[in-house]
Amino acid sequence: MRAHSPDITAWIAAWQQGDANARDRVFTHLYPELRRLAAVVLRSNADHQTLEATALLNDALLKMIQARPPDADDRAHFARIVARAMRQILIDRVRRRLADKRGAGERMLSIEDFDAPDIGSPAELVALDDALQRLAKMDARAATVVELRVFVGLTIDETAAAMGLHAASVNREWAHACAWLKRHVFANE
Protein backbone atom coordinates (compact mmCIF):
# COMPACT_ATOMS: atom_id res chain seq x y z
CA MET A 1 0.00 0.00 0.00
CA ARG A 2 1.35 3.40 -0.96
CA ALA A 3 1.60 6.16 1.59
CA HIS A 4 -0.71 9.10 1.04
CA SER A 5 0.99 11.67 -1.18
CA PRO A 6 0.42 15.22 0.03
CA ASP A 7 -1.34 17.67 -2.25
CA ILE A 8 1.46 20.17 -2.82
CA THR A 9 -0.64 22.05 -5.36
CA ALA A 10 -3.37 22.62 -2.76
CA TRP A 11 -0.81 23.79 -0.22
CA ILE A 12 0.65 26.24 -2.74
CA ALA A 13 -2.86 27.56 -3.48
CA ALA A 14 -3.51 27.99 0.27
CA TRP A 15 -0.19 29.82 0.61
CA GLN A 16 -1.23 32.14 -2.22
CA GLN A 17 -4.35 32.89 -0.18
CA GLY A 18 -2.19 33.91 2.80
CA ASP A 19 -1.90 30.64 4.76
CA ALA A 20 1.60 30.73 6.31
CA ASN A 21 1.12 27.18 7.65
CA ALA A 22 0.59 25.95 4.09
CA ARG A 23 3.80 27.71 3.04
CA ASP A 24 5.66 25.98 5.86
CA ARG A 25 4.22 22.59 4.81
CA VAL A 26 5.40 23.18 1.23
CA PHE A 27 8.90 24.10 2.43
CA THR A 28 9.10 21.20 4.89
CA HIS A 29 7.83 18.57 2.48
CA LEU A 30 9.89 19.72 -0.52
CA TYR A 31 13.07 20.71 1.37
CA PRO A 32 15.05 17.50 0.62
CA GLU A 33 14.12 17.67 -3.07
CA LEU A 34 14.94 21.39 -3.27
CA ARG A 35 18.25 20.85 -1.45
CA ARG A 36 19.24 18.31 -4.12
CA LEU A 37 18.27 20.89 -6.75
CA ALA A 38 20.46 23.48 -4.99
CA ALA A 39 23.40 21.05 -5.12
CA VAL A 40 22.84 20.61 -8.87
CA VAL A 41 22.63 24.37 -9.38
CA LEU A 42 25.92 24.85 -7.52
CA ARG A 43 27.65 22.05 -9.43
CA SER A 44 26.56 23.47 -12.76
CA ASN A 45 27.74 26.99 -11.91
CA ALA A 46 31.48 27.29 -11.39
CA ASP A 47 33.12 29.65 -8.93
CA HIS A 48 30.74 29.11 -6.02
CA GLN A 49 32.88 26.76 -3.94
CA THR A 50 32.34 28.85 -0.82
CA LEU A 51 28.57 28.45 -0.91
CA GLU A 52 26.89 25.25 0.23
CA ALA A 53 23.63 23.89 -1.13
CA THR A 54 21.83 24.31 2.20
CA ALA A 55 22.84 27.97 2.45
CA LEU A 56 21.82 28.65 -1.14
CA LEU A 57 18.43 27.00 -0.65
CA ASN A 58 17.82 28.75 2.66
CA ASP A 59 18.63 32.13 1.07
CA ALA A 60 16.21 31.37 -1.77
CA LEU A 61 13.44 30.33 0.62
CA LEU A 62 13.98 33.45 2.74
CA LYS A 63 13.74 35.54 -0.41
CA MET A 64 10.44 33.82 -1.21
CA ILE A 65 9.08 34.40 2.29
CA GLN A 66 9.82 38.13 1.99
CA ALA A 67 8.09 38.38 -1.39
CA ARG A 68 4.49 37.67 -2.28
CA PRO A 69 3.63 33.98 -2.65
CA PRO A 70 4.82 32.53 -5.96
CA ASP A 71 2.33 32.11 -8.75
CA ALA A 72 3.11 28.38 -9.05
CA ASP A 73 0.71 25.96 -10.67
CA ASP A 74 2.16 22.76 -9.21
CA ARG A 75 5.19 21.10 -7.63
CA ALA A 76 7.35 21.22 -10.79
CA HIS A 77 6.52 24.87 -11.42
CA PHE A 78 7.36 25.68 -7.79
CA ALA A 79 10.73 23.90 -8.16
CA ARG A 80 11.48 26.02 -11.26
CA ILE A 81 10.64 29.18 -9.31
CA VAL A 82 12.98 28.14 -6.49
CA ALA A 83 15.69 27.33 -9.05
CA ARG A 84 15.27 30.81 -10.53
CA ALA A 85 15.54 32.37 -7.04
CA MET A 86 18.76 30.41 -6.46
CA ARG A 87 20.11 31.58 -9.82
CA GLN A 88 19.33 35.19 -8.88
CA ILE A 89 21.20 34.77 -5.59
CA LEU A 90 24.23 33.41 -7.44
CA ILE A 91 24.05 36.23 -9.98
CA ASP A 92 23.86 38.84 -7.20
CA ARG A 93 26.94 37.32 -5.52
CA VAL A 94 28.86 37.37 -8.79
CA ARG A 95 27.81 40.94 -9.61
CA ARG A 96 29.02 42.12 -6.21
CA ARG A 97 32.34 40.35 -6.66
CA LEU A 98 32.79 41.67 -10.21
CA ALA A 99 31.97 45.19 -9.10
CA ASP A 100 34.99 44.92 -6.81
CA LYS A 101 37.24 43.50 -9.52
CA ARG A 102 35.70 45.36 -12.50
CA GLY A 103 35.91 42.10 -14.46
CA ALA A 104 39.69 42.26 -14.92
CA GLY A 105 40.98 39.38 -17.00
CA GLU A 106 37.59 37.80 -17.70
CA ARG A 107 36.87 36.47 -21.17
CA MET A 108 33.57 36.72 -23.00
CA LEU A 109 31.23 33.73 -23.07
CA SER A 110 31.15 31.93 -26.40
CA ILE A 111 28.02 30.34 -27.82
CA GLU A 112 30.04 27.13 -28.22
CA ASP A 113 30.20 26.95 -24.40
CA PHE A 114 26.45 26.29 -24.35
CA ASP A 115 26.93 22.62 -25.21
CA ALA A 116 28.10 22.00 -21.65
CA PRO A 117 26.09 23.12 -18.63
CA ASP A 118 29.19 24.59 -16.93
CA ILE A 119 29.70 28.33 -16.75
CA GLY A 120 33.41 29.08 -16.77
CA SER A 121 33.69 32.39 -14.94
CA PRO A 122 31.67 34.93 -12.98
CA ALA A 123 31.68 37.35 -15.93
CA GLU A 124 30.23 34.63 -18.17
CA LEU A 125 27.49 33.95 -15.63
CA VAL A 126 26.52 37.62 -15.55
CA ALA A 127 26.65 37.93 -19.35
CA LEU A 128 24.42 34.91 -19.75
CA ASP A 129 21.96 36.17 -17.13
CA ASP A 130 21.72 39.56 -18.85
CA ALA A 131 21.12 37.85 -22.19
CA LEU A 132 18.49 35.55 -20.69
CA GLN A 133 16.57 38.49 -19.29
CA ARG A 134 16.42 40.05 -22.77
CA LEU A 135 15.49 36.74 -24.41
CA ALA A 136 12.75 36.13 -21.82
CA LYS A 137 11.02 39.35 -22.84
CA MET A 138 10.72 38.02 -26.40
CA ASP A 139 10.47 34.26 -25.84
CA ALA A 140 9.96 33.14 -22.26
CA ARG A 141 9.86 29.45 -23.13
CA ALA A 142 13.22 29.54 -24.93
CA ALA A 143 14.75 31.43 -22.01
CA THR A 144 13.39 28.85 -19.57
CA VAL A 145 14.96 26.06 -21.63
CA VAL A 146 18.35 27.78 -21.47
CA GLU A 147 17.90 28.46 -17.76
CA LEU A 148 17.11 24.83 -16.98
CA ARG A 149 19.84 23.46 -19.24
CA VAL A 150 22.63 25.84 -18.25
CA PHE A 151 21.87 26.91 -14.69
CA VAL A 152 20.17 23.78 -13.36
CA GLY A 153 22.15 21.36 -15.53
CA LEU A 154 19.20 19.38 -16.87
CA THR A 155 19.41 17.26 -19.99
CA ILE A 156 17.03 17.77 -22.92
CA ASP A 157 14.80 14.96 -21.62
CA GLU A 158 14.83 16.29 -18.04
CA THR A 159 14.05 19.80 -19.30
CA ALA A 160 11.17 18.41 -21.36
CA ALA A 161 9.77 16.63 -18.30
CA ALA A 162 10.15 19.72 -16.09
CA MET A 163 8.37 21.91 -18.63
CA GLY A 164 5.76 19.38 -19.70
CA LEU A 165 7.01 19.44 -23.30
CA HIS A 166 8.16 16.86 -25.80
CA ALA A 167 11.97 16.50 -26.09
CA ALA A 168 11.79 17.56 -29.76
CA SER A 169 10.15 20.85 -28.71
CA VAL A 170 12.87 21.44 -26.15
CA ASN A 171 15.52 20.73 -28.81
CA ARG A 172 13.92 23.32 -31.11
CA GLU A 173 13.73 25.90 -28.31
CA TRP A 174 17.36 25.16 -27.36
CA ALA A 175 18.53 25.64 -30.97
CA HIS A 176 16.44 28.81 -31.32
CA ALA A 177 17.78 30.28 -28.07
CA CYS A 178 21.41 29.48 -28.93
CA ALA A 179 21.01 31.02 -32.39
CA TRP A 180 19.40 34.14 -30.91
CA LEU A 181 22.15 34.49 -28.32
CA LYS A 182 24.82 34.05 -30.98
CA ARG A 183 23.24 36.74 -33.20
CA HIS A 184 22.39 39.27 -30.53
CA VAL A 185 24.88 38.77 -27.75
CA PHE A 186 28.01 37.13 -29.05
CA ALA A 187 28.34 38.87 -32.41
CA ASN A 188 30.87 41.36 -31.05
CA GLU A 189 33.44 38.83 -29.80
6-35: average pLDDT: 88
**May I ask the CATH class of domain 1-102?**
mainly alpha
pLDDT digits (tens, 9 = 90+) for 61-102: 888 888 888 888 888 888 888 888 888 888 888 777 776 555
Beta-bridge mates of residue 45: 119
What angle (nearest 5°) sits at the alpha carbon of residue 130, between those of residues 128 and 135? 90
Q: What was the pLDDT predicted at 45? A: 65
pLDDT for residue 32 is more than 80: yes
Q: Do 1-102 and 107-189 show the same overall fold?
A: no
Rounded to the nearest integer, the mean pLDDT of the chain is 77
Lowest-confidence region among 3-7, 16-20, 68-72, 132-136: 3-7
The answer to whether 93 touches 47, Cβ cutoff 8 Å, is no
pTM of the model: 0.57
CATH topology for 107-189 is Arc Repressor Mutant, subunit A (1.10.10)
Segments making up each domain of the chain, as ranges: 1-102, 107-189
The answer to whether 127 touches 108, Cβ cutoff 8 Å, is yes
Q: What values do phi and psi take at 88, rounded to 5?
A: -65, -35
pLDDT digits (tens, 9 = 90+) for 125-165: 777 778 888 888 999 899 888 888 877 777 888 888 888 88
